[in-house]
Amino acid sequence: MMLHLVEDELDGRDTVGTPSNPQKFLDQDYEELRRDFVKNKARFVDETFPPNESSIGPNLLHDDAMARVEWIRPTKMVEDPYLIVERESRFDLAQGDLGDCWFLAAIGAITFQKDIMVEIIPENQSFSQDYAGIFHFRFWRFGKWVDVVIDDKLPTIDGKLIFVHCKTRNEFWPALLEKAYAKVCGSYADLRGGLVSEALRDFTAGVFITLTLEADRPEPWGLMRQAAQHRSLMGCGSLHGATSANTELPNGIVEGHAYTITDILSVLSNGESVKLVRLLNPWGQKEWNGNWSDGSPLWKTVSAEDRTKLLQSKDDGEFWMSMEDFCRSFSQVDICCRTPAFLDNSSENSWTSVMCKGRWEKETAGGSRDYKQTFWMNPQYRMKVPDLDENQAESQGLNLLVSLMQKPNSRNRNLVQNLPIGFSVFMVPPELKDQNTLPASSFTTSSPVVESSLTSGTREVVEFFRLRPGQYLIVPFTAKPNLTASFILTVHIKCKIQR
């Protein structure tokens, strides 16, 4: 299989699955359904995600709690329900009895960017004008944007929402957004456990990288600061301890928990620059209490102007900490941006993106390079890394980002079996540049110029590199031969700026 990536550039055409023309999830047409129910003065009930135990999912609530669940519309909970009060805010959220902090941390990140929120929560929805109990939301899922229809019946116990709720009593966008994502993933139970990067990707279709925080690694301050300047979305995960997840440490950090990174900056403290990170706990409470926390005396060492601008002494789940303490308390940082430009502080139009869909069948799943006799059977994708302008070449290091994502074998997220996958990148020899596929001998006589780690348990492998100009071959592979799965290969290449 050979596909010239440079000839298949994404061009934003208005095909099904784009932001302007999303695919109708489960073939439900929001406009048609809403029009019919408004005309008949009826309230929509979604048969594809019914208000019953099946939509909550298995092993999430105890039997006695499940028996007490009542699905209620917001119009029955309060007299004056609103989808959004004023505008969406990161402080709206309060996590409920569902382990989806990874999803809520991602929501906290996107509230800063109105253009992303409008894509996810289409406008002209309310509980007043032509209300019919029907709403819709949009997500990017495995190469396509999908439009997801839901009814507004929400699971409650004793009249209170079980899962995410808004601190404003009559605001319901977080609960309805969570329900729509639960529908896409199969059930509420399917939202338990995950990575912030997964949700950020589904909210933006953007580029993401994960930075590992370890004692022997340099701190990623420069890249994080650069990412923030490019309006990137960021989240992070705290270290897992010996105790069970969600245990609050004496310093206020919750173990094995996802947080939103809401700001990155430096301040002058007694005349010296200090790097600070601001984080938000999606619980809406429980904050770091060490240096640079709300009550820290270190805030007296900064100017009155900075102290007034930055310090908000509220128990709202948001807090500052130093970069050093951050690296000691957290294991990874997820960064997601619309383009890879944040990687080298370049302009958005200096990168081109290509997406290809493929599949490993028994006859095209040759396994990793450990299987020398069959590796050549894997799909092969040709690409060209171009020469750059002199100024570009001098100003940047990275010029290639590759993502390999598995497509699921089940709608239910927790039933998906993600295979261990990876990819190798080979230089194409000049004498073989005109061949459609490279022969088996090419892979036994030469080594890849770069190769991803073999990643298991996650749906996507992402690596970024610098390669010299030339013809290359990307070979996505599974850990072992004869495995069957679908995948999406996305390549972002630094290109010459058109002047």
Q: What element of type H or E holds 178?
A: helix 173-185
Q: What is the DSSP letter of 4?
A: B
Residue 11's pLDDT band, with cuts at 50, 70 and 90, is very low
Look at the pTM and tell me if it is higher than 0.85: yes
Query: What average pLDDT does the segment 22-44 reach?
Result: 97
* CATH number at 207-337: 3.90.70.10
Residue 371's pLDDT band, with cuts at 50, 70 and 90, is very high
**Closest to 78 measured CA to CA, from 177, 172, 173, 180:** 172
Predicted local confidence at residue 216, as pLDDT: 67
Alpha-carbon distance 430 to 423, whole Å? 22
Look at residue 245 and tell me whether its pLDDT is greater than 90.
no
More confident residue, 99 or 198: 198
**Closest to 227 measured CA to CA, from 331, 328, 339:** 339
Predicted local confidence at residue 390, as pLDDT: 58
Q: What element of type H or E holds 64?
A: helix 63-67
Look at residue 413 and tell me whether its pLDDT is greater than 70.
yes
Look at residue 108 and tell me whether its pLDDT is greater than 70.
yes
Predicted local confidence at residue 422, as pLDDT: 95
Strands (E), 408-469: 421-427, 450-451, 460-465
Look at residue 8 and tell me whether its pLDDT is greater than 60.
no
492's CB contacts (< 8 A; 6+ apart) are 207, 339, 340, 351, 352, 353, 354, 400, 401, 402, 403
Task: State the CB neighbour count (10 A cutoff) for residue 162.
Answer: 21
Predicted local confidence at residue 7, as pLDDT: 37
SS3 272: strand
Look at residue 27 and tell me whether its pLDDT is greater than 70.
yes
Distance between first and last Cα of the chain: 35
Contact 341, 219 (CB under 8 A): no
Contact 374, 367 (CB under 8 A): yes
Q: Which amino acid is at 389?
A: D
What pLDDT digit, counting tens, does each position of 144-169 carry?
Answer: 999 999 999 999 999 999 999 888 88
**Closest to 92 measured CA to CA, from 82, 79, 78:** 82
Predicted local confidence at residue 316, as pLDDT: 87
Predicted local confidence at residue 165, as pLDDT: 87
Residues in the chain: 499
Task: State the CB neighbour count (10 A cutoff) for residue 130.
Answer: 13
Residue 396's pLDDT band, with cuts at 50, 70 and 90, is low
Residue 498's pLDDT band, with cuts at 50, 70 and 90, is low
What pLDDT digit, counting tens, does each position of 207-225 carry?
Answer: 999 999 986 677 899 999 9
Q: Where in the chain is the domain with CATH 3.90.70.10?
A: 207-337
Minimum mean pLDDT range among 44-48, 96-100, 137-141: 96-100
More confident residue, 90 or 230: 230
Look at residue 430 and tell me whether its pLDDT is greater than 90.
no
Q: Which amino acid is at 205?
A: A
Predicted local confidence at residue 1, as pLDDT: 36
Look at residue 375 and tell me whether its pLDDT is greater than 70.
yes
For the chain, helix (H) and strand (E) counts, in that order, are 13, 22
Contact 404, 359 (CB under 8 A): no
Q: Token pair of 274, please?
A: 């200090």
Q: Where in the chain is the domain with CATH 2.60.120.380?
A: 347-494
Predicted local confidence at residue 346, as pLDDT: 86
What pLDDT digit, counting tens, does each position of 344-366 carry?
Answer: 888 888 899 999 999 999 889 99
Would residue 486 be called left, alpha or beta, if left means φ above 0 and alpha means ψ between -120 and 50 degrees? beta
* Among 165, 166, 185, 281, the one annotated catalytic: 281
CATH architecture of 347-494: Sandwich (2.60)
What pLDDT digit, counting tens, does each position of 279-327 carry?
Answer: 999 988 899 999 999 999 999 999 999 999 999 878 889 999 999 999 9
* Among 136, 165, 257, 492, the one annotated catalytic: 257
Q: Among this protein's residues, is 62 annotated catalytic?
A: no
Residue 97's pLDDT band, with cuts at 50, 70 and 90, is confident
Q: What element of type H or E holds 197?
A: helix 196-204
Query: What average pLDDT does the segment 7-26 reach?
Result: 72
Q: Token pair of 418, please?
A: 């993600």
Q: Among this protein's residues, is 101 annotated catalytic?
A: yes
What pLDDT digit, counting tens, does each position of 251-271 carry?
Answer: 999 999 999 999 999 999 999
Alpha-carbon distance 397 to 402, whole Å? 15
Q: Among this protein's residues, is 52 annotated catalytic?
A: no
